[in-house]
Structure 1
Amino acid sequence: MAKFQPKVADEGRDDGMREKMIQVNRVTKVVKGGRTMSFAALTVVGDGDGRVGMGQGKAKEVPVAVQKAMEAARRNMVKVSLKDGTIHHNVVGEHGAAKVLLAPAVAGTGVIAGGPMRAIFDVMGVKDIVAKSLGSSNPYNMVRATFAALTASTTPAEIAAKRGKTVEELFN
């Protein structure tokens, strides 16, 4: 008779993805019999080359919540166009009361960003960027605002195609 082997919560993956945990929250649900404790995790996953995803997970134990959040982040990945380790232009993103300003930086500047935004840029592969959080500092909303800003950024090729011009004509 074979023994049952439970799945280990922290199985390592070899898919080359970078994972960062941003926050773990203890949440409480009040029921008739008392309080039920559980944990909510917020994580980001990226490939170091412009793809990044955000995930949330909730479970009775921290490792399971983090694993669920990592899986959700892998499913919700978006591709962001980068130029030499930074973004193409200034961009603002909003979500709720959180507002973030992202600006490209010259090589050697580093990642100048706080808290949740720094984790996103680390897993995404951004080497030089200046980011400022305006408004709410709620990590969930800051991450969503950062994703809104990143998805709103465009490349010169996209703008040229939209205007029916070449990239060289844009910069003349």
Structure 2
Amino acid sequence: MSEDTKVEETKVEETAAAEGAEAEMQAADGKSKRAPRKKAAPRKKAPTNVNPDIEERVVAVNRVAKVVKGGRRFSFSALMIVGDKKGKVGYGLGKAKEVPEAIRKATQAAQKNMISVALDDGTIPHAVLGRFCSAKIQFIPASEGTGVKAAGACRSILELAGIRNVLTKSVQSTNPHNVVKATFKALENLRSEAEVAKARGKDIKGLRIK
């Protein structure tokens, strides 16, 4: 190999090295000019229980599996009941990938959907029947000292509503979701003596609801 050829190869290598160094410097300048990324602000979780007078109870927590291409993805659903034991009660359903988050969502939904229940000295004004799908539940007024004769989700709802004495009878479906909704249907149908008297256009004195 002649000396001229060696000199040309050396020049080519030096030129390539210089171009590479210049490209690296330009890339470094571009990175330095780029504005830094802003850090995302942490999400503020809403408080689970805003009103300290409201009590919470868990009715059911279910694990659900979704089958996808990569395998199974698990999530949880929670059914919650809240009430102040003074005639207001509500229920809510929450779904999330973790149990605490599902309970928090269900509690918030329950607090938003609270209803007022007509009470009569610790019991209900009259007998009532509630239905939802195949679930049927009946409430009958009871005297002082009887207690809440109910079980499961129905008992929790009645206690959080402030009912101390009542007889209940539940038939057919035992699904907690159906029982809860049937119970709320029955409670929504309760009417106080004042409401019935106003609807009939009569005086409340001497009026008795049966």
The answer to whether TM tops 0.5 is yes
Residue of structure 2 in register with 1:124 after alignment: 161
Distance 1:54 1:14 in 2: 15
Q: Greater CA deviation, 48-57 or 157-166?
A: 157-166
Count of aligned pairs: 170
User: Where does the alignment leave 5 or more consecutive residues of structure 2 unmatched?
Assistant: 1-40
Q: Alignment partner for residue 200 of structure 2, among 151, 163, 167?
A: 163
Comparing 95-104 with 160-169, greater Cα deviation is found at: 160-169
Is residue 139 of structure 1 aligned with residue 190 of structure 2? no
Question: Contact between 2:130 and 2:182, CA under 8 Å: does it hold in 1?
Answer: yes
Q: Is the 8 A contact 2:66 2:74 kept in 1?
A: yes
Deviations 1:4-49 (A, max 9, x none): 7776798664531011110101111112221111110001000110
1:77 maps to 114
The separation in 1 between residues aligned to 2:47 and 2:62, in whole angstroms, is 19
1:44 equivalenced with 2:81 (yes/no): yes
4+ runs deviating over 6 angstroms: none
The answer for the alignment partner of 1:67 in structure 2 is 104
Q: Matched residues in 1 for 2:207 and 2:47: separation?
A: 49
- Equivalents in 2 of 1:26, 1:49: separation in Å? 33
CA RMSD of aligned residues (A): 2.0
**Contact preservation (8 Å) 2:83, 2:90:** yes
- Give 5+ residue unaligned stretches, structure 1: none
More strand as a share of residues: 1
The structure that is helix-richer by fraction is 2
TM-score, normalised with respect to structure 1:
0.91
CA distance change for structure 1 residues 125 and 162 in 2, over 3 Å: closer, same or farther? same
Q: Percent identity?
A: 48
Larger radius of gyration: 2
| Correspondent of 2:147 among 92, 106, 110 | 110
